[in-house]
Amino acid sequence: MVEPRLQLREGRTRARFRRHVAIRQIVLVSTGGWWEKENIDTVLRIARELAEDASVPFAGALLRPHASRMKQGGKLTPDGEAVLCAAGRAGRELIREGRMRQETLNAVSCPLIAEEELRRRYNAALPS
């Protein structure tokens, strides 16, 4: 997908996608199991770096921490539905406006449970 011709830009080795590759920008969509969205930062850094390496814009990230809280009993919760609606809205914004609004990204990442409660539930499920 990437041309083997390397370039030095801003002190880093970079490349470009081949001409037939139609990727114009990169968006990260990622979930995590822990409470903080910062636990997804390593994946976010890699996505940003990939966009830089391939010389395409990084258009942003939809980050959903503690994604397991979107369902209960195998069914999507009202909060889970709201998250999916916000994710859809982010996609429409990206297509129509060329960017995702911060308020929409915040709605995708919003807390669905208190941090201490999530940790308590995870730990309670472990064998003694």
Amino acid (one-letter) located at 24 = R
Range of the domain at 97: 7-124
pTM equals 0.82
Residue 1 belongs to a domain: no
Residue 38 belongs to a domain: yes
Convert the pLDDT of each residue in 48-77 to its tens digit. 998 988 889 999 999 999 999 999 999 999
Q: Which of 1, 54, 3, 45 is nearest to 25 (CA)?
A: 54
| Number of independent structural domains in the chain | 1
Convert the pLDDT of each residue in 21-58 to its tens digit. 788 899 999 999 999 999 999 999 999 998 988 889 99
Element (H, E) at 28: strand 26-31
**Residue 33 phi, psi (nearest 5):** -95, -25
Q: Are 107 and 63 in contact (CB under 8 A)?
A: no
Residue 95 belongs to a domain: yes
Residue 52 and residue 81: Cα distance in Å, rounded?
33
